[in-house]
Amino acid sequence: MLAPITEIFCDIDDFCKQWFIEISPYLLPDPNRKRQRKCRMSASEIMTIVILFHLSHYRTFKDYYRDCVETHLKSYFPMLVSYNRFVEIMASVISPLSAYLLSRLGEKTGLYYIDSTMLKACHNRRIYRHKTFRGIAERGKSSMGWFYGFKLHVVINHKGELVSFCMTRGNMDDRKPLEQLFNNLKGLAAGDKGYLSKKKEETLLKQGIKLITRVRRNMKEKAMSTFEKYFLGQRGIVETVIEQLKSICHIEHTRHRKPDNFLINLLSGLMAYMIKPRKPALKIHALTDNNKLLMSS
């Protein structure tokens, strides 16, 4: 394990202490819970373990927990529970993990890229006998073909940091969550041809976002500044980020037994990416004056 465990845990623990103080007046007791005993492991310990999984070389959480956590990380987590018990209590940290991820999103630099990627729930041949996400997941189509599951929509800045994200069903149009993704963001954004929509561009422009995309072959070229052409030409950076989320942080696999575990895996994978010290980035420090004038006009 090459990740700085102590630093990660301390940051998570400091956040959890403050978060539980602020949220405790709004928490309601679980009427189905017979005992009110606290778990042996704290929420910060559980969050640390699930995030570290995505920074390890293990592909399955079971191997990671039994071969790494129970063997080599026992001294860091003295109140460690069994693997079966840990799987049961993971869902209890969905709320603090979501809040922690939202508090650690990237800087609002004014330069953004947007893209979506599929998150398969199962192989296409097993759609009709799949039960875990029945009634939740939907069939969709991407550039890689048909799939059954969900879509992850991400907005990154030019430093490669996640700035905004959301998840939709697999059959959702990529353009539908644009307003939600760019809420409270202002500047220049670039996307692929799937985001072509004059109505959406006008709506986003009112919000303070200028969305630029390439056009289809039967369409006229749009007038762009030199900087906008360069910025649009570097759109591959968001595809690199998505590839790292899938190949390094393993946010996608088709072995989930519960929707809660799917959310935990996705959120902890996104958080693990944010912790990564090196991210794909553009060497741009700030918007030029000319581009500011162009966007304000």
Which three-class secondary structure state does DSSP give residue 271?
helix
Rounded Cα distance between 241 and 125, Å, is 29
CB 254, CB 120: distance < 8 Å: yes
Q: What is the mean pLDDT of residues 249-275?
A: 92
pLDDT at res. 26: 76
Residue 292 above 60 pLDDT? no
Tell me the CATH architecture of domain 111-256+279-296: 2-Layer Sandwich (3.30)
* Backbone φ/ψ region at 72: left (φ over 0), alpha (ψ -120 to 50), beta: alpha
Q: Which of 34-38, 201-205, 223-227 has the lowest average pLDDT?
A: 34-38
Residue 141 above 60 pLDDT? yes
Q: Between 25 and 105, whose confidence is greater?
A: 105
Signed CA dihedral, 194, 275, 52, 101: sign only: negative
- DSSP type of residue 84: H
Rounded Cα distance between 10 and 175, Å, is 39
Q: What share of the chain is helix, strand, coil (3-state, %, to 5)?
A: 45, 15, 40
Residue 233 above 50 pLDDT? yes
Rounded Cα distance between 217 and 210, Å, is 22
Residue 269 above 60 pLDDT? yes
Rounded Cα distance between 197 and 138, Å, is 24
- 72-125 pLDDT tens trace: 999 999 999 999 999 999 999 999 999 999 999 999 999 999 999 999 998 888
Q: Which helix (H) or strand (E) holds 285?
A: none
pLDDT at res. 150: 95
Burial class (CB in 10 A: 0-12, 13-18, 19+), 50: buried
Q: Between 32 and 79, whose confidence is greater?
A: 79
Neighbour tally for 58: CB within 10 Å: 19
Q: What is the mean pLDDT of residues 177-199?
A: 92
pLDDT at res. 216: 83
Confidence of residue 33 (pLDDT cuts 50, 70, 90): low
CB 111, CB 210: distance < 8 Å: no
Residue 256 above 50 pLDDT? yes
Q: Which of 132-141, 204-213, 228-237, 279-288 has the lowest average pLDDT?
A: 279-288
Confidence of residue 296 (pLDDT cuts 50, 70, 90): very low
- Percent of the chain having pLDDT more than 70? 91
CB 72, CB 1: distance < 8 Å: yes
pLDDT at res. 94: 94
Cα distances (Å, whole numbers) of residue 278 to 48, 179, 183, 250, 281 = 20, 29, 27, 17, 9
